[in-house]
Amino acid sequence: MGSIPAHFSLDRLVGKTLTQVALGPYDLQFGFGGRDFIQCVGRVFVELSGASMLVYDHASWGDISPLKDIAGRTVQSWSVDTPRQFSLTLSGGARLLFQCGDVPGEEFIVHPEILVV
């Protein structure tokens, strides 16, 4: 497992609306209209109303109930919080946190072109 690449940027997502949350047998995907989506195999947390909930972790589901509450929100900003975590701040005070762990391969793919290990 490596760190989030230095060239990593989610600028193109700012102002876009989270239009789709897709749950698959081996991943979780967040769609932002068009070709922009984040495919997740690593840990994903949703922060709402001051609470942080693990929703997905390497093909294992946590509490998925907050996912219905984030669809339709707009991306306000993004950040690299640590060398192994990035996040999206959504309208209404919600956040999505994406944490890389110690597993081989990419844990997050930001389509169309960015791999995050």
Q: Which residue has the higher pLDDT, 30 or 4?
A: 30
Find the domain containing 99 and state its range: 11-116
- Decide if 6 is inside a domain: no
Rounded CA separation 15/47 (Å): 19
Rounded CA separation 67/51 (Å): 13
**Average pLDDT over all residues of the chain:** 91
- Tens of pLDDT, residues 46-65: 999 889 999 999 878 999 99
- Decide if 22 is inside a domain: yes
Phi, psi at 53, each rounded to 5°: -125, 130
What local confidence, expressed as pLDDT, does residue 6 receive? 84
- Decide if 5 is inside a domain: no
- Decide if 63 is inside a domain: yes
Looking at residue 102, the DSSP 8-state letter turns out to be S
- Decide if 2 is inside a domain: no
- Decide if 97 is inside a domain: yes
CA 43 to chain centre: 9
pLDDT bracket for residue 7 (50, 70, 90):
confident
User: 60: which 2 tokens?
Assistant: 């294992």
List of residues 6+ apart from 53 with CB closer than 8 A: 45, 46, 47, 62, 63, 65, 66
- Decide if 56 is inside a domain: yes
What local confidence, expressed as pLDDT, does residue 104 receive? 74
- Decide if 106 is inside a domain: yes
- Tens of pLDDT, residues 74-111: 999 999 999 999 999 999 999 999 998 877 778 888 88
Q: Are 90 and 38 in contact (CB under 8 A)?
A: no
Report whether pLDDT(22) > 70: yes
Q: Are 76 and 90 in contact (CB under 8 A)?
A: yes
Number of domains, the chain: 1
